[in-house]
Structure 1
Amino acid sequence: MAHLDTCPLVHCRLVLKAATTSRPSTAMNLMSQVLKVLSRSENKRLFGKELEGSMPPQPVLTMIDHLMIHGCEVEGIMRKSPKQATVRLLKTQLDNGQVPDFHQFNAHVTASLLKEYLRSIPGQLLLSGNYHLWIEVCEEFNEARKMHLCKNLLKLLPQCHTVLLKSILRLLRKIASNEYITKMSINSLGVCIAPSLLENP
């Protein structure tokens, strides 16, 4: 039965089927078995979970590494949408604890998956609770003060958020440096990625 851990819904169905043919005394164990299966599934889930600890999840770093190598000279990267069926398939695999071989897919798929992951982080990567403070930074005309305010807000980010943000910015900088190929300027990238980093709560 160990191999069923990767298919919690199948496991649940087997548990329910067994319960219908078992004596009533076994029914009291049913709920605990189902909850254990669902708990294992929840622990494997990647999307929609808070960032904890000092490092982002390894699959997310793998996505970024893949884009650093294969996505920084791709026209329209971070803007063009791939087939959503493929994105949904990979998302399901990641939520089941599997790490796909991203080399089998084009960079647009990985970029779309990365943006979807960022959107799924509870509270967003830049902390949507500070949304209005970020808006104040954007509206500040004095460059020195703007930099000061920005640094203060960045200090409020948990360590894991900071590490992931640095990786994202490093990727975006490399994409923008190849603007003549990617057709993606800093402004274009900002338009495409900002909604995944911060939203009005």
Structure 2
Amino acid sequence: MSTPTQFKRRLGADLSAMATAPAPAPATRTPARRLRLPLAVATVATAAAAAVVVPTLSGSGGSPAYAVTKKDDGSLVLHLNRPEGLPGLQQQLKKMGVRAAALEGDENCPTGAPPHAPWATAGYALTFPSEPGKAVIHPDMIPDDTTASDGRRVAGATLLIVAEFGKDNATKAVSFRLVSKVPKCSVPGIGGGPDAHA
């Protein structure tokens, strides 16, 4: 008969001790590794996106139809690989604040080559490395709108880029000229080209 009594006393003492003991500190939950991984991946992806200055739009085939990359000095490296890159190239340059138009050269263009902007120098708004579809655009060499000394407004020039493509649709040559008005078509080989500005 004494065993149940001892059990009750021991149980009572244990319960009293537990009731008066300080509460344990709440456990902090350590996030699982798999929860940290997406955050790390997102951080790396954000850093990579910040390093890409200008997006590259892809066309059909293994290489992009065009690409534009901004350099530290403000110049833009242009790669034009196929005809379907022309509209995207023009849109990208516009987004970057460059007044430019891109056309495919047309031997049958009734107006021929558009006239140079009468007051603009054609020199070095676009230069050419050795590759046929590569050029460097110098936006600071494209004249802005100005006001003449007599108060007349003089419209800025537009960089007209005219590309020629071979039978395989690869870029054969790119030429340019600064124009006052963008034509609907142009013959190829206008103004500057790889031979003019190496």
- Higher share in strand: 2
* Greater relative CO (CA pairs within 8 A, separation 6+): 1
TM-score by length of 2: 0.27
Q: Which one has the largest radius of gyration? A: 2
TM-score by length of 1: 0.27
- Higher share in helix: 1
